[in-house]
Amino acid sequence: MDIFDNSDLEYLVDEFHADFDDDEPFGEVDVTSESDSDFMDSDFDFELSESKTNNETSALEARNGKDIQGIPWESLNYTRDRYRENRLLHYKNFESLFRSREELDKECLQVEKGKNFYDFQFNTRLVKSTIAHFQLRNLVWATSKHDVYFMNNYSLMHWSSLLQRGKEVLNVAKPIVPSMKQHGSLSQSVSRVQISTMAVKDDLIVAGGFQGELICKKINEPEVAFCTKLTSADNDITNSVDIYNAPSGSLRVMTANNDCTVRLFDATNFALLNRLPFTGL
Protein backbone atom coordinates (compact mmCIF):
# COMPACT_ATOMS: atom_id res chain seq x y z
CA MET A 1 0.00 0.00 0.00
CA ASP A 2 1.21 3.52 -0.77
CA ILE A 3 2.28 5.63 2.15
CA PHE A 4 -0.21 8.45 2.37
CA ASP A 5 1.64 11.76 2.48
CA ASN A 6 -0.25 14.33 4.47
CA SER A 7 2.59 16.79 5.00
CA ASP A 8 0.79 19.47 2.99
CA LEU A 9 -2.31 19.17 5.14
CA GLU A 10 -0.25 19.11 8.32
CA TYR A 11 1.26 22.41 7.25
CA LEU A 12 -2.20 23.87 6.75
CA VAL A 13 -3.45 22.58 10.09
CA ASP A 14 -0.35 23.93 11.84
CA GLU A 15 -0.96 27.29 10.22
CA PHE A 16 -4.59 27.32 11.33
CA HIS A 17 -3.86 26.22 14.91
CA ALA A 18 -0.38 27.55 15.57
CA ASP A 19 -1.60 29.48 18.59
CA PHE A 20 -2.66 26.32 20.42
CA ASP A 21 0.37 24.05 20.30
CA ASP A 22 1.09 22.77 23.80
CA ASP A 23 3.41 19.91 24.66
CA GLU A 24 2.00 19.80 28.20
CA PRO A 25 -1.77 19.95 27.85
CA PHE A 26 -2.36 19.88 31.61
CA GLY A 27 0.17 22.61 32.28
CA GLU A 28 -0.57 26.21 33.14
CA VAL A 29 -1.52 28.60 30.37
CA ASP A 30 1.12 31.31 30.33
CA VAL A 31 -0.19 34.73 31.23
CA THR A 32 3.00 36.69 31.74
CA SER A 33 2.48 40.41 31.37
CA GLU A 34 0.15 43.13 32.55
CA SER A 35 -0.64 43.93 28.94
CA ASP A 36 -1.74 40.34 28.42
CA SER A 37 -3.93 40.58 31.51
CA ASP A 38 -5.45 43.87 30.37
CA PHE A 39 -6.13 42.32 27.00
CA MET A 40 -7.99 39.43 28.63
CA ASP A 41 -10.04 41.83 30.72
CA SER A 42 -11.26 43.74 27.71
CA ASP A 43 -14.16 42.79 25.49
CA PHE A 44 -12.86 40.71 22.62
CA ASP A 45 -14.05 42.13 19.32
CA PHE A 46 -13.94 39.60 16.50
CA GLU A 47 -15.62 41.87 13.94
CA LEU A 48 -14.90 40.65 10.45
CA SER A 49 -13.06 42.82 7.98
CA GLU A 50 -12.42 42.56 4.27
CA SER A 51 -8.86 41.40 4.96
CA LYS A 52 -10.21 38.39 6.92
CA THR A 53 -12.77 37.07 4.49
CA ASN A 54 -10.66 33.98 3.81
CA ASN A 55 -11.19 32.93 7.41
CA GLU A 56 -14.90 32.28 6.98
CA THR A 57 -17.16 30.11 4.87
CA SER A 58 -20.83 30.85 4.27
CA ALA A 59 -23.59 28.38 3.35
CA LEU A 60 -23.70 29.83 -0.17
CA GLU A 61 -19.95 29.38 -0.62
CA ALA A 62 -20.20 25.81 0.67
CA ARG A 63 -22.97 25.03 -1.83
CA ASN A 64 -20.75 26.48 -4.54
CA GLY A 65 -17.94 24.10 -3.65
CA LYS A 66 -15.82 25.92 -1.04
CA ASP A 67 -14.54 23.66 1.73
CA ILE A 68 -16.44 24.30 4.97
CA GLN A 69 -13.12 24.41 6.88
CA GLY A 70 -11.49 26.65 4.30
CA ILE A 71 -8.87 24.04 3.35
CA PRO A 72 -7.72 24.69 -0.26
CA TRP A 73 -7.92 21.11 -1.48
CA GLU A 74 -7.50 22.23 -5.08
CA SER A 75 -3.88 23.14 -4.30
CA LEU A 76 -3.14 19.74 -2.73
CA ASN A 77 -2.41 16.39 -4.33
CA TYR A 78 -5.57 14.69 -3.06
CA THR A 79 -9.22 15.37 -2.37
CA ARG A 80 -10.98 15.75 0.97
CA ASP A 81 -12.73 12.39 0.49
CA ARG A 82 -9.46 10.60 -0.22
CA TYR A 83 -7.76 12.16 2.78
CA ARG A 84 -10.68 11.20 5.06
CA GLU A 85 -10.70 7.65 3.72
CA ASN A 86 -7.02 7.20 4.52
CA ARG A 87 -7.34 8.86 7.91
CA LEU A 88 -10.14 6.50 8.92
CA LEU A 89 -8.03 3.59 7.71
CA HIS A 90 -4.90 4.48 9.71
CA TYR A 91 -6.04 6.59 12.66
CA LYS A 92 -6.60 4.71 15.92
CA ASN A 93 -9.06 6.23 18.35
CA PHE A 94 -8.37 6.10 22.07
CA GLU A 95 -10.42 3.26 23.55
CA SER A 96 -11.09 2.13 27.09
CA LEU A 97 -13.22 -0.97 26.64
CA PHE A 98 -13.68 -3.98 28.90
CA ARG A 99 -14.91 -6.06 25.97
CA SER A 100 -13.76 -6.36 22.40
CA ARG A 101 -15.18 -4.04 19.77
CA GLU A 102 -16.36 -7.08 17.80
CA GLU A 103 -18.54 -8.24 20.71
CA LEU A 104 -19.99 -4.78 21.22
CA ASP A 105 -20.74 -4.38 17.51
CA LYS A 106 -22.94 -7.47 17.65
CA GLU A 107 -25.08 -5.93 20.38
CA CYS A 108 -25.32 -2.43 18.95
CA LEU A 109 -27.97 -1.44 16.45
CA GLN A 110 -26.62 -0.70 13.01
CA VAL A 111 -26.75 2.97 12.11
CA GLU A 112 -28.79 3.90 9.09
CA LYS A 113 -26.71 6.28 7.03
CA GLY A 114 -27.54 8.72 4.27
CA LYS A 115 -29.81 11.10 6.22
CA ASN A 116 -29.19 14.79 6.88
CA PHE A 117 -29.95 16.06 10.38
CA TYR A 118 -28.16 19.40 10.08
CA ASP A 119 -27.44 21.91 7.34
CA PHE A 120 -24.19 23.85 7.24
CA GLN A 121 -24.70 27.57 7.86
CA PHE A 122 -21.45 29.30 8.66
CA ASN A 123 -17.86 28.65 9.71
CA THR A 124 -15.33 31.12 11.05
CA ARG A 125 -11.76 30.48 12.15
CA LEU A 126 -11.50 33.87 13.85
CA VAL A 127 -13.00 32.38 17.03
CA LYS A 128 -10.46 30.25 18.88
CA SER A 129 -11.52 27.74 21.51
CA THR A 130 -8.91 26.21 23.84
CA ILE A 131 -9.31 22.61 25.00
CA ALA A 132 -6.30 21.44 26.98
CA HIS A 133 -6.88 17.68 26.67
CA PHE A 134 -8.92 15.45 24.37
CA GLN A 135 -10.82 13.87 27.27
CA LEU A 136 -12.23 17.17 28.50
CA ARG A 137 -15.90 17.68 27.67
CA ASN A 138 -18.61 20.33 27.47
CA LEU A 139 -16.21 23.24 26.90
CA VAL A 140 -18.37 24.55 24.04
CA TRP A 141 -22.06 25.32 24.67
CA ALA A 142 -24.67 26.60 22.22
CA THR A 143 -27.59 28.09 24.16
CA SER A 144 -29.48 29.15 21.02
CA LYS A 145 -29.08 29.15 17.25
CA HIS A 146 -26.90 32.23 17.53
CA ASP A 147 -25.17 32.11 20.93
CA VAL A 148 -22.07 30.05 21.72
CA TYR A 149 -20.02 29.93 24.92
CA PHE A 150 -16.48 28.55 24.88
CA MET A 151 -13.11 28.71 26.63
CA ASN A 152 -10.16 30.67 25.25
CA ASN A 153 -7.25 30.12 27.64
CA TYR A 154 -8.37 31.81 30.88
CA SER A 155 -11.37 33.56 29.32
CA LEU A 156 -14.89 32.20 29.06
CA MET A 157 -16.21 33.84 25.91
CA HIS A 158 -19.62 34.46 24.36
CA TRP A 159 -19.82 34.54 20.55
CA SER A 160 -22.83 35.93 18.69
CA SER A 161 -23.14 34.66 15.13
CA LEU A 162 -25.64 37.45 14.41
CA LEU A 163 -23.35 40.28 15.53
CA GLN A 164 -20.20 38.44 14.37
CA ARG A 165 -18.39 39.44 17.53
CA GLY A 166 -17.37 38.00 20.88
CA LYS A 167 -17.32 39.20 24.47
CA GLU A 168 -15.51 37.97 27.55
CA VAL A 169 -18.02 36.78 30.15
CA LEU A 170 -15.63 35.48 32.81
CA ASN A 171 -11.89 35.79 33.39
CA VAL A 172 -10.47 33.11 35.67
CA ALA A 173 -6.81 34.15 35.60
CA LYS A 174 -7.17 36.64 38.44
CA PRO A 175 -8.50 36.06 41.97
CA ILE A 176 -12.28 35.53 42.00
CA VAL A 177 -14.19 36.68 45.07
CA PRO A 178 -17.78 35.40 45.33
CA SER A 179 -20.46 38.05 45.77
CA MET A 180 -22.82 35.72 47.64
CA LYS A 181 -21.62 35.05 51.18
CA GLN A 182 -23.90 33.31 53.62
CA HIS A 183 -23.33 31.80 57.05
CA GLY A 184 -22.35 28.16 56.68
CA SER A 185 -21.73 28.48 52.96
CA LEU A 186 -18.83 26.65 51.30
CA SER A 187 -18.02 29.81 49.38
CA GLN A 188 -14.34 30.79 49.11
CA SER A 189 -12.11 32.73 46.74
CA VAL A 190 -10.26 30.96 43.92
CA SER A 191 -7.69 32.16 41.41
CA ARG A 192 -5.91 31.16 38.22
CA VAL A 193 -8.39 28.40 37.52
CA GLN A 194 -7.81 26.11 34.57
CA ILE A 195 -11.31 25.21 33.45
CA SER A 196 -11.93 21.50 32.88
CA THR A 197 -15.69 21.45 32.25
CA MET A 198 -18.67 23.80 32.13
CA ALA A 199 -22.41 24.07 31.61
CA VAL A 200 -24.51 27.02 30.43
CA LYS A 201 -28.30 26.87 30.94
CA ASP A 202 -31.15 29.01 32.26
CA ASP A 203 -29.07 32.21 32.53
CA LEU A 204 -26.47 30.39 34.65
CA ILE A 205 -22.85 29.50 33.94
CA VAL A 206 -21.23 26.72 35.99
CA ALA A 207 -17.57 25.84 35.50
CA GLY A 208 -15.26 23.30 37.14
CA GLY A 209 -11.47 23.35 37.42
CA PHE A 210 -8.46 21.04 37.43
CA GLN A 211 -7.93 21.54 41.18
CA GLY A 212 -11.49 20.76 42.23
CA GLU A 213 -12.84 24.31 41.81
CA LEU A 214 -16.47 25.20 41.18
CA ILE A 215 -17.55 28.60 39.81
CA CYS A 216 -21.18 29.75 39.37
CA LYS A 217 -22.12 33.00 37.64
CA LYS A 218 -25.30 34.55 36.27
CA ILE A 219 -24.78 35.33 32.58
CA ASN A 220 -25.99 38.93 32.77
CA GLU A 221 -24.37 39.83 36.10
CA PRO A 222 -20.78 41.11 36.27
CA GLU A 223 -19.77 39.36 39.51
CA VAL A 224 -19.36 35.67 40.27
CA ALA A 225 -22.14 34.60 42.62
CA PHE A 226 -20.46 31.52 44.11
CA CYS A 227 -17.10 29.79 43.92
CA THR A 228 -15.27 27.26 46.05
CA LYS A 229 -12.88 24.32 46.05
CA LEU A 230 -14.93 21.15 46.35
CA THR A 231 -11.95 19.10 47.46
CA SER A 232 -8.34 19.79 48.34
CA ALA A 233 -6.97 16.33 47.52
CA ASP A 234 -4.45 15.92 44.72
CA ASN A 235 -5.76 15.27 41.21
CA ASP A 236 -9.39 15.71 42.25
CA ILE A 237 -10.34 17.47 39.04
CA THR A 238 -13.95 18.52 38.59
CA ASN A 239 -14.81 16.12 35.78
CA SER A 240 -18.35 17.22 35.00
CA VAL A 241 -20.99 19.76 35.98
CA ASP A 242 -24.66 19.96 35.09
CA ILE A 243 -27.59 22.34 35.56
CA TYR A 244 -30.97 20.66 35.86
CA ASN A 245 -34.47 21.01 37.30
CA ALA A 246 -35.44 18.87 40.30
CA PRO A 247 -38.89 17.21 40.29
CA SER A 248 -40.09 20.16 42.38
CA GLY A 249 -39.03 22.51 39.59
CA SER A 250 -36.15 24.03 41.56
CA LEU A 251 -32.93 24.65 39.67
CA ARG A 252 -30.02 22.48 40.79
CA VAL A 253 -26.28 22.21 40.11
CA MET A 254 -24.62 18.79 40.03
CA THR A 255 -20.86 18.19 40.16
CA ALA A 256 -18.67 15.08 39.85
CA ASN A 257 -15.06 14.93 41.01
CA ASN A 258 -12.20 12.47 41.11
CA ASP A 259 -12.73 12.07 44.86
CA CYS A 260 -15.56 9.69 43.89
CA THR A 261 -18.26 12.07 45.05
CA VAL A 262 -21.26 13.62 43.31
CA ARG A 263 -22.49 16.84 44.93
CA LEU A 264 -25.85 18.57 44.57
CA PHE A 265 -26.30 22.31 45.10
CA ASP A 266 -29.28 24.64 45.18
CA ALA A 267 -28.80 26.99 42.21
CA THR A 268 -30.44 29.89 44.06
CA ASN A 269 -28.31 30.16 47.20
CA PHE A 270 -25.71 27.48 46.27
CA ALA A 271 -26.20 25.59 49.51
CA LEU A 272 -24.85 22.03 49.44
CA LEU A 273 -27.91 19.78 49.44
CA ASN A 274 -26.38 16.34 49.22
CA ARG A 275 -23.18 14.35 48.78
CA LEU A 276 -23.30 11.02 46.98
CA PRO A 277 -20.05 9.08 47.44
CA PHE A 278 -19.37 6.04 45.31
CA THR A 279 -16.63 3.48 44.97
CA GLY A 280 -14.20 4.11 42.14
CA LEU A 281 -13.09 1.40 39.74
Closest CA to 202 of 161, 141, 155: 141
Q: Choose among 158, 175, 176: nearest CA to 167.
A: 158
Per-residue pLDDT tens digits for 230-255:
987 777 899 999 999 999 999 999 99
Above 70 in pLDDT, residue 91? yes
Query: pLDDT grade, residue 114 (50/70/90)?
Result: confident
Separation of alpha carbons 17 and 265, rounded Å: 38
Summarised one tens digit per residue, pLDDT across range 184-218 is 678 899 999 999 999 999 999 999 999 999 999 99
On average, the pLDDT of the chain sits at 81
Quote the CA–CA distance of 78 and 71 in Å, as a whole number: 12
Count of other CB atoms within 10 angstroms of residue 184: 7
- Identify the structural domains of the chain with CATH numbers, from first to last: 1-30+47-126 (no CATH), 130-281 (2.40.128.630)
Bridge-based pairing of strands 204-209 and 195-201 is antiparallel
**What one-letter code names the amino acid at 185?**
S
- Strand order across the 213-218 sheet: 195-201, 204-209, 213-218, 226-229
Least confident of 134-138, 184-188, 225-229: 184-188
Which pLDDT does position 203 carry in this prediction? 94
Q: For residue 23, is pLDDT > 60? A: no
Q: What's the mean pLDDT in 89-99?
A: 84
Note the pLDDT of residue 281: 59
Q: For residue 190, is it left (φ>0), alpha (ψ between -120 and 50) or beta?
A: beta
Report helix, strand or coil for 131: coil
For 150, other C-beta atoms within 10 Å of its C-beta total 21
Instruction: Give the pLDDT of residue 186.
Output: 82
